[in-house]
Structure 1
Amino acid sequence: MRTSAFVVLGLAALGPWACSRESEKPPAPPRLFATEAAEPVRGAPAPAAPVFTHLTVKARGATTELERTAEGWRLTSPVEAKADPYAVDAMVQQLTTAKFKATVTASPTDAELKKFGLTSPSFTVTARAYVPDANGGGAEDPSRQRTVTLSGGDENPFDGSVYVRRDGDAAVYAAEGVVRWSLDKGPFELRAKEFLGPLDAAVLQSIEVTAKDHAYLLTRDPDGKTWRMVKPEPTRANASRVTELLAAFAGQQALSFPEDTPAARKALGLDAPTVDARFVPSTGEPIRVRLAQVTREGAPVVHALREQGGRATLAEVDARALTTLDVGVPELKDRRVLNFPREAVRRLEFHPGGKAAPLVVARGASPEGGSDAWRIEGPDGGPARHFRVVKLLGSLESLKAAAFGEANVKRWERYGIGAASRSVVLRDAEGRELARLWLGNAVPEQDERLYARGSGPDLLEVSASAVAGLPTSAADLKDAPPGGPDGGAAP
């Protein structure tokens, strides 16, 4: 009795195909997509992996056509769009390497096909590929072309496998559940969700945004690296922040792709958008993106419309997309306090404040050094430590505003900034002023900050610790005397 019980349990574990005609089972094919007529002889070189060029996927009530291009996989139907590289790579990987798990039945009856869900398959994939020759060619060689059509049926609840059939092969096979997961994809799953990109700051020439709370226009400077705000006020723009905003905006994921019609655009509020952005690249058509919000079943829903030339894409997106570009002037301004060409600096003047004489460091020929040596001018002059001056230049170049204060200040003396203020002046070889930093009073209730004025027109707040290292005497730029600070002999 115990033996009989084990047999019954074993049959149950095998699933619906356990009672199939065992004598009719042929050996299981080695792969879903077999490129050779028979499995390679052991020890022989493995056949070259097929290179897939076209996929037709019928699933989720739709048919999706995909083609491989030089830029990657693209959907050609039901829409023209970039394919999701992860979804297509997973599909190609299964087609290339997956093996059938078992042969369920070699000659299924109509009743068995219905039982396995193969009378009306849940998904069908037709894949075209070529087997490359030794040099990787063969795409146009008819003898190297291969095509297979796989139809997937129901899932076996006992082990999660899926029933599969191949065109030209009567047998029903079992494949691992991951095969279903990879092949059973509709147009949305196979389509790239990041539909707004690319919005590469490196190739854009201007960015104009009109949003709910803010509006601005940014243009690229002639140097091709920096940005300038034109509206609402002319000033240097924060290039790194602009790049961050573009990356965040271009990375928005589509939640769905509704049908794009004039009626749909109007119903979704895109005729009067909350955000209207225009991106002008150095080459190609400008890109316009509009975003609007409507209420659906009591919940806010946001849609984005991307237009470039004759192409348009409508997508539902996360509500956070509405605020990604809706930023104010302080966030877009360049926080660098000083703007100067570092390689042109040949003279630094450190003014301690009041009527005290400045500490001056100049770069040029000297008896003690070469033409690039830094030398302290004045009665207590001499060679300056090169790395110390270079470090000071780096600190001044990277000095950032912690906050912006009053714009277009009329009375700088209110903040302790004037001719007698502590300051630093940078000059070129001809003595022309490249940049100037003024340091003023401590910010009320912010003792760790000082008011400052730099290359722009705004009142700034800078960290007191960031400027604490500015030299006040020649000794700050020289090597310590032998034997210690007092010049005496070491104990």
Structure 2
Amino acid sequence: MKAKQRTLAFLLVLVLAAGAALALLTHANRKAEQAASEVEDGSIPLLDVTGDTLEQVAVQYEGETLTLLPGDGWTLAEDPDYHLDDSACDTIRTALADMRAKRQLEAQPGEDYGFDVPRLVVNVTAAGERTTLTVGAENPVTGDVYVRRNGEDTVYAVDAAKFRCMEQTKAELFGAFSPAGITASDIEALRYTLQSGEVVSLQAVSQPTGADSTAYQTVWRLTDAPDAALDADKTDALLAALASYVTGQDTAADSYACGFDDPLVTAEVTTADGTAVLTYAIGTDGYYMRVSGDESVYTVDGQTVAALCQTAEQLK
């Protein structure tokens, strides 16, 4: 009887052990299937970043390091007065928050995967943790780039499109805007001095749309010749030019090299908020503008300057 009980106990132990082994094997298989699914779906996470935890992104590209700081808008740490394109920076943040690899592989001897001269190095700080992604060569067949994280031996294959938004120079990350902060409809009066020394003064005037009309419209007149009719298209172009967006910014430009020692036109623009002085010049590389109270030099196009360089006679 005792022998039979010992046999049953032994068999029970075997059954329990087999059950435990089966459970472990099932768990391992599930983990393997999950890992395989992640690889197949391209969902191997490389970063743990959210919009709330991101503290800064430092991108090394084409010999330039740009450190982007999120906040109420984006700030460039190396040049805080530089006007960044917030939308472009938001795109970078979105790409980092969804940074996943398609595959991972062990580095093979003799292969550098482009890491000796990387195309891009991205240092991401989030929740106090810093992660470095080194982007190497692009696989011409798959369209993926090779990525190394924190100098580890593992090499990841990541869709090259994930990094396209980060392959931008400082000039390319500039956000176009109107430095004077005015719109054409805000302007109430204008006085500008041409390079020749001629001073043109304009005033907005409200007048009836017709002889018997009770409706009014705003028209522009020369201050010293209020009865002279002006070309509406030219005055509209003039006002639009003053409110137009600039295309570039240099916070430490050489004013002399930009031609501000002999400007093409200096405009005093009056709005309800006060008077701003906008100065336009031609330099060695194009046309530039400065705004009173702002040390930056901004790039503008030739059409903008041409619209402003109108004599009083040409406005008629």
Is TM-score (shorter-chain normalized) higher than 0.5? yes
Seen in structure 2, the aligned counterparts of structure 1 residues 201 and 253 have a Cα distance that, compared at 3 Å, is closer
Q: 2:70 aligned with 1:77, yes or no?
A: no
| Displacement of 1:64 | 1.6
The partner residue of 1:33 within 20, 33, 47 is: 47
Seen in structure 2, the aligned counterparts of structure 1 residues 269 and 56 have a Cα distance that, compared at 3 Å, is same
Partner in structure 2 of residue 303 of structure 1: 287
Aligned length: 267
Partner in structure 1 of residue 169 of structure 2: 186
Q: 2:247 aligned with 1:254, yes or no?
A: yes
| Displacement of 1:65 | 2.4
Q: Percent identity?
A: 23
2:203·2:223 contact (CA, 8 Å) conserved in 1?
no
1:226·1:237 contact (CA, 8 Å) conserved in 2?
no
| Displacement of 1:229 | 3.9
User: 5 Å matches for 1:70-469?
Assistant: 70=72, 72-78=73-79, 80-103=81-104, 105-106=105-106, 111-112=110-111, 115-129=112-126, 147-167=130-150, 169-194=152-177, 196=179, 198-211=181-194, 215-219=199-203, 226=218, 229=221, 231-234=223-226, 245-254=238-247, 257=250, 260-261=253-254, 265-283=255-273, 286-294=276-284, 301-309=285-293, 311-327=294-310
Partner in structure 1 of residue 65 of structure 2: 63
Post-superposition Cα deviations, 1:259-306, rounded to whole Å, max 9, x if no partner, equal 512xxx323422111222233454477342222255xxxxxx422131
2:82·2:249 contact (CA, 8 Å) conserved in 1?
no
Seen in structure 2, the aligned counterparts of structure 1 residues 147 and 289 have a Cα distance that, compared at 3 Å, is farther
| Aligned amino acid, residue 234 of structure 1 | P
CA distance in 1, matches of 2:191, 2:201: 4
| Aligned amino acid, residue 233 of structure 1 | A
| Aligned amino acid, residue 288 of structure 2 | A
Which segments of 5 or more consecutive residues in structure 1 lack a partner in the other structure?
1-24, 36-47, 130-143, 295-300, 333-403, 405-491
Seen in structure 2, the aligned counterparts of structure 1 residues 303 and 51 have a Cα distance that, compared at 3 Å, is farther
SS of 2:48's equivalent in the other structure is coil
RCO higher in structure (CA 8 A, sep ≥6): 2
Post-superposition Cα deviations, 1:119-176, rounded to whole Å, max 9, x if no partner, equal 34332223345xxxxxxxxxxxxxx566543222222233332222222754221222
CA distance in 2, matches of 1:54, 1:164: 20
Post-superposition Cα deviations, 1:201-220, rounded to whole Å, max 9, x if no partner, equal 45545433234687523356
| Displacement of 1:89 | 2.9
CA distance in 1, matches of 2:51, 2:189: 46
CA distance in 1, matches of 2:240, 2:148: 44
Q: CA RMSD in A?
A: 4.0
CA distance in 1, matches of 2:92, 2:235: 37
Seen in structure 2, the aligned counterparts of structure 1 residues 323 and 63 have a Cα distance that, compared at 3 Å, is same
SS of 2:296's equivalent in the other structure is strand
Which segments of 5 or more consecutive residues in structure 2 lack a partner in the other structure?
1-35, 207-216
Partner in structure 1 of residue 13 of structure 2: none
